[in-house]
Amino acid sequence: MSLYQIFIEPWERHASAYWPILAMAFFVTAACGLVGNYLVLRRISLVGDAISHSVLPGIAIAFILTNSRSGPPMFIGALVAGVITTLIIEVLHSRTRIKQDAAIGITFSTMFAIGVILISLHGSHTDLDLDCVLFGKLDFLSSKEKIIMGLPGVALTMGMVALIVGCLIVLFYKELLVSSFDPNLAATIGISPRLVHYLLMCILSVVVVSAFTSVGAILVIAMLILPAATSYLLTDRLWVMMLFSLIHSFLSAIGGIHLAVAFKIPTAPATVVCGMIFFVAAWIFSPTHGLIRYWFRSRASVNGECIN
Amino acid sequence: MVPRIRTIIIFGVALLSVTVHEAAAARIGEIVETNPWDQIRRFITFSDRGLRLSLIGAILFGAVCGLLGSFIVVRKMALFGDAISHAVLPGVALGFLWSMSKDPVAILIGATLAGLAGSLLVGAIRRTTRIKQDAALGIVLASFFAIGLCLIRIIQNNEGASKITGLKSYLFGDVAVLDRYDVIIMGVVTISTVILFGLLYRPFLAISFDRQFAVSIGYPVRILEALFQMFLAFAIVISLQAVGVVLVSAMLITPAATAYLLVDRMHRMVWIAMGIGIVSAIIGVFLSFLGSNLPTGPFMVLSASSIFTMAYLFSPKYGRFTKWLRYRNRAKKVREENSLKSIYHVLERRGMESSGNRVLITDLSSHRKMSVTKIFKEIKNMERSGLINLEGNSVSLTDDGFEKARSVVRNHRLWELYLTNEANYASDHVHDDAEKVEHFLSEEEVSELESYLDYPQKDPHGKPIPGRASA
């Protein structure tokens, strides 16, 4: 496969097919990445993992009842499943001697198992099957959706979600910032850390549910963490970090599409692989926190000790 | 520990020799009809060779998951197990790519290497950057999984969909694809894991509960931890075909967490976790056997979760329901003893404390500060347990009830005396404490108190301490 076929042909010949995919991939990674910053800073990244697994039975039931992949029923189903999961984790963790990590592991795997069984009992369906759970349906979105403003409906919805998430985060920037770094200070200046936490969880579940059908249940976690972790290695300021995570989302969406074209693979995992490559690059080359810098510094300090 | 290991080895070898002598077995997936009753009959009679093979596989990996899962749960590494189990996927795909067939050895090697690479990467990210454990786990989990998905799709593109069917079972599990060589490898891994953990049980116990201590008494902690991670990768890999990458962590966590709710000692927990792992694996095989073409993994996970729920409710020590029952019984005992004590107090005030003397229910209700209807209900209950006699509108203590009442009053006054004399409490501060303790003093504690206080006659408020029946 020539470079022309990989990098230019998609945009020259099939632009109408690839623009929506790019837009969708960017909207999903951007919305996830923005929320992900706070997950990484608050050290609750794996909550995203748990939520993305455990909404599956809710989505499956909503799908089986309405037989469509339309928004509202799925969203309600997912929300109910998410709330139930949170409650079960809380009960297991606070009322028994089971630790939080095991409680999370037990609950989300059970919910996920129920979801998988429901989907496979319902028979293979083109819209929601196990492939969708694993790989996502990023590549199939342009086939039958209605086109509005040059974008298919789902991409437009995802764009709205990303925009709303962005607005909420800008609006509550101070509250999120303070409560993420110093919950005690937040409490003393009248911001309830608990309320902010629940707000964040709400935003998180909205994002996860809307990203679900395009990237699948498992890859969501990468969309949440990779942009944030990458930019966490590059800067110390929160708003710069959020900006970098947006850039990371954009670059990995583009890179993902080309990777997918080059190897004929689904776009969602390709986007994740691309995001991981950026992360590894940042890990090695970051001017402030990179491995090279780390290595030189530790060597310099050893030399310094020798001289002294 | 050693004789147990020996029995297990003999058992395992026997199992293996049975499987090795099986002729080419029919696979469950090839059965066409799916009448549930027929299937149940087949399952119970073990008429199907492929089924026998899957059951042996289920027993083997259920045991090894329970064993390693116990250590994972007590070390609070549950989500680490989850991350590693997702991270083996690219190794599975590479092992497949290497041999271009479902060669179990190649896949085992590839997946183990990928799992170890994943755990090394988590450690490296945590050590050299400021990213914390949770994010590091998430990165490794999702990135490796994505790479694995990409590789699987590439193999599918190059080799066609027919070759990939074997590989698909690695995602959600399909016990029917297990063949003889898979089961032999599972047996080898299970037996070597059991032997290793049997021999090195104490060192592993030490690093799980108190790493500093393990370092200080000279165990090679680094090597032990590397060994643990390697065998964890092995356990995950041999479970993959049966449970699938996505859910294998549940088979590690859930049986062990269930055992954790049941017992306190680590070696018992390990045995119980292995048992639960085996049972839920077998139930999973059974349930997926009922329908056609159902993934096995989710059913195994669901049966493990159901067993967990049972333990959560009915565990003798930590169950919610048993706790509630215990609480109810204790509350009933306290209420009963308080009523007996009230009757005794009323009688004592009149100077006629003995069994048989009657007390009006209205007097009792005013002394106990409870409404007459409530008191009456309680009296009915106590009459049924033979503590008091109800005659018209008054009650009297039976001999049994009188003895009980005396002992509660004795406990109360002894404790008050102990607090004022030995713990230097003011005499007007001791009542509330004694009100609680009186119900829970054992026979020995009371006699110890008596001899310690030199067999006193009066409590701090000058009231007589009733003696024992024999005295």
- Per-residue confidence (pLDDT) for residue B4, from 0 to 100: 58
Same domain, B313 and B372: no
First vs last C-alpha separation in chain A? 58
| Residue A49: CA count within 13 A, CB half-sphere | 30
Q: Which pTM was predicted?
A: 0.81
- Per-residue confidence (pLDDT) for residue B162, from 0 to 100: 59
The pair of three-digit structure tokens given for residue B199, joined into one six-digit string: 């021999």
- Nearest C-alpha neighbor of A1 from the set A267, A260, A275: A260
Number of Cβ within 10 Å of residue B224's Cβ equals 18
- Per-residue confidence (pLDDT) for residue B19, from 0 to 100: 47
The pair of three-digit structure tokens given for residue B7, joined into one six-digit string: 């029995």
- Measured distance CA(B7)–CA(B194) in Å, rounded: 11
- Per-residue confidence (pLDDT) for residue A250, from 0 to 100: 93
DSSP one-letter string for B255-323 = HHHHHHHH-SSHHHHHHHHHHHHHHHHHHHHHHHHHSSS--HHHHHHHHHHHHHHHHHHH-TTT-HHHH
- Nearest C-alpha neighbor of B239 from the set B226, B255, B225, B252: B252
What ipTM was predicted for this assembly?
0.88
Q: Which residues of B touch A291 (CB under 8 A)?
A: 128
Distance from CA of A76 to the nearest CA of B (A): 24
CB of B403 within 8 A of CB of B353? no
Q: Give me the residues of chain A with pLDDT under 50, please.
A: 308
Put simply, whether A281 touches B (Cβ < 8 Å) is no
Mean pLDDT value of segment B190-199: 92
Decide if A306 is inside a domain. no
Q: What is the pLDDT of residues B142-157, one digit of tens each?
A: 999 999 988 888 888 8
Q: Which residues of A touch B143 (CB under 8 A)?
A: 222, 226, 272-273, 275-276, 279
Residue of A101, A261, A296 for testing the chain B interface, max B β-carbons within 10 Å = A101
Same domain, B115 and B213: yes
Kindly report the CATH number assigned to the domain that includes residue B447: 1.10.10.10
Kindly report the CATH number assigned to the domain that includes residue B236: 1.10.3470.10
Same domain, B86 and B123: yes
Same domain, B267 and B351: no
Decide if A264 is inside a domain. yes
Q: B302, A134: Cβ pair inside 8 Å?
A: no
- Per-residue confidence (pLDDT) for residue B262, from 0 to 100: 92
Q: A117, B132: Cβ pair inside 8 Å?
A: no
CB of B300 within 8 A of CB of B280? yes
Domain count across chain B: 2
The pair of three-digit structure tokens given for residue B307, joined into one six-digit string: 């067993």
Final residue belonging to a domain, choices B318, B350, B371: B318
Put simply, whether A93 touches B (Cβ < 8 Å) is no
CB of B144 within 8 A of CB of B87? yes
Same domain, B142 and B265: yes
> How many percent of chain A have pLDDT more than 90?
19
- Measured distance CA(B189)–CA(B234) in Å, rounded: 7
Which of A9-18, B45-54, B360-369, B372-381 comes out lowest in average pLDDT?
A9-18
In terms of residue numbers, what domain contains B370?
A: 322-471
> How many percent of chain B have pLDDT more than 70?
87
Element (H, E) at B397: strand B394-397
Q: A110, B302: Cβ pair inside 8 Å?
A: yes
Element (H, E) at A292: helix A291-307
- Measured distance CA(B405)–CA(B426) in Å, rounded: 26
- Measured distance CA(B170)–CA(B166) in Å, rounded: 8
Put simply, whether B305 touches A (Cβ < 8 Å) is yes
Final residue belonging to a domain, choices B318, B340, B356: B318
Decide if A199 is inside a domain. yes
The pair of three-digit structure tokens given for residue B419, joined into one six-digit string: 């607090």
Kindly report the CATH number assigned to the domain that includes residue A246: 1.10.3470.10
Tell me the residue type at B113: L
Q: Which residues of A touch B299 (CB under 8 A)?
A: 113, 117
Final residue belonging to a domain, choices B284, B318, B352: B318
Same domain, B239 and B298: yes
Q: How many residues does chain B have?
A: 471
Contact map slice: A 157-196 vs B, CB within 8 A:
none
Q: Which residues of A touch B73 (CB under 8 A)?
A: 99, 102
Parallel, antiparallel, or unpaired for β B358-360 and B394-397?
A: antiparallel
Same domain, B309 and B330: no
Distance from CA of B251 to the nearest CA of A (A): 9
Same domain, B231 and B160: yes
- What pairs with residue B40 in β-bridges? none
Q: Which residues of B touch A96 (CB under 8 A)?
A: 261, 312, 318
DSSP 8-state class, residue A302: H
- Among the partner-chain residues A98, A99, A273, the one whose CB lies closest to the CB of B150 is A273
φ, ψ of residue A127 to 5 degrees: the values are -85, -40
Q: What is the pLDDT of residues B248-301, one digit of tens each?
A: 889 999 999 999 999 989 989 999 999 999 999 999 888 887 776 678 888 999
First vs last C-alpha separation in chain B? 52
Among B44-58, B225-239, B285-299, the range of highest mean pLDDT:
B225-239
Give residue B1's pLDDT band: very low, low, confident or very high (50, 70, 90). very low
Put simply, whether A25 touches B (Cβ < 8 Å) is no
CA angle A290-A296-A297, nearest 5°? 85
Residue given tokens 């998180």 in the structure block: A204
Distance from CA of B283 to the nearest CA of A (A): 14
In terms of residue numbers, what domain contains A25?
A: 3-298
- Nearest C-alpha neighbor of B335 from the set B301, B297, B385: B385
Put simply, whether B127 touches A (Cβ < 8 Å) is no
Put simply, whether A109 touches B (Cβ < 8 Å) is yes
- Per-residue confidence (pLDDT) for residue B471, from 0 to 100: 41
Whether pLDDT at B12 is above 60: no
Give residue B13's pLDDT band: very low, low, confident or very high (50, 70, 90). low
Domain count across chain A: 1
The pair of three-digit structure tokens given for residue B337, joined into one six-digit string: 């003893």
- Measured distance CA(B372)–CA(B360) in Å, rounded: 11
Q: What is the pLDDT of residues B102-140, one digit of tens each?
A: 677 888 889 889 999 999 999 899 888 888 888 899 999
Same domain, B358 and B448: yes
Q: Exposed e or buried b for every residue in B168-184, given b needs 16+ CB within 10 A?
A: bbbbbbbbbbbbbebbb
Tell me the residue type at A119: I
φ, ψ of residue B318 to 5 degrees: the values are -115, 5
Distance from CA of A148 to the nearest CA of B (A): 31
φ, ψ of residue A65 to 5 degrees: the values are -70, -45
Tell me the residue type at B273: A
- What pairs with residue B396 in β-bridges? B358, B389
CB of B250 within 8 A of CB of B281? no
Nearest CA in chain A to B319: A96
Q: What is the pLDDT of residues B308-348, one digit of tens each?
A: 999 999 988 888 899 899 999 998 888 888 888 888 888 88
- Per-residue confidence (pLDDT) for residue A244, from 0 to 100: 94
Surface-to-core class of residue A228, CB atoms within 10 Å of its CB (0-12 exposed, 13-18 middle, 19+ buried): buried
- Measured distance CA(A109)–CA(A114) in Å, rounded: 9
Decide if A280 is inside a domain. yes
CA angle A215-A218-A224, nearest 5°? 75
Element (H, E) at B55: helix B49-74
- Measured distance CA(B138)–CA(A39) in Å, rounded: 11
Q: Which residues of B touch A45 (CB under 8 A)?
A: 134-135, 137-138
Same domain, B277 and B339: no
Same domain, B166 and B36: yes
Q: Which residues of B touch A225 (CB under 8 A)?
A: 135, 138-139, 142
CB of B239 within 8 A of CB of B249? no
Same domain, B11 and B128: yes
- Per-residue confidence (pLDDT) for residue B31, from 0 to 100: 44
